Structure 1
């Protein structure tokens, strides 16, 4: 499945709260979510390679899975 990361989510990766979370971590997390996501939904408890816990907000569109934002813990 194709994962599309919004500019907003990419911008948030530069904030201290999302420190040590990479684009690869986000793609891996989005691909692990099973099923179809018709509306924007928050998914909790993913782990970055660095060990940092984060949440993502995603939904499915015709082009693939859209990651709207990332929330670091």
Structure 2
């Protein structure tokens, strides 16, 4: 299983109203669901947090793992 790295920017966004009720565990689980290698920053849509909140992730694979660049809540 690949390591998931959540950037400081993404962690700060979790405190915004739009990302309310999305946890770091939700983000890590969603990042693990994405198959394959992601060489450039790509937006993946339609993940659902345990709270029911829908969100998107922008992710890129780097040498040390899967980098979560930002979270976009719906």
TM range (shorter): over 0.9
Q: What SS does the aligned partner of 2:26 have?
A: helix
By how many angstroms is 1:61 displaced?
A: 0.2
The C-alpha deviation readout for 1:2-36, integer Å capped at 9, x for no partner, is 00000000000000000000000000000000000
**CA–CA separation in structure 1 for the residues paired with 2:13 and 2:44:** 17
**CA–CA separation in structure 2 for the residues paired with 1:61 and 1:17:** 27
Q: What SS does the aligned partner of 1:68 have?
A: strand
TM-score (norm 2): 0.98
Gaps of 5+ in 2: none
Task: Specify the alignment match of 1:31 in structure 2.
Answer: 32
**Structure 1: 4+ residue segments shifted above 2 A:** none
Question: Number of paired residues?
Answer: 73
TM-score (norm 1): 1.00
Task: Specify the alignment match of 1:14 in structure 2.
Answer: 15
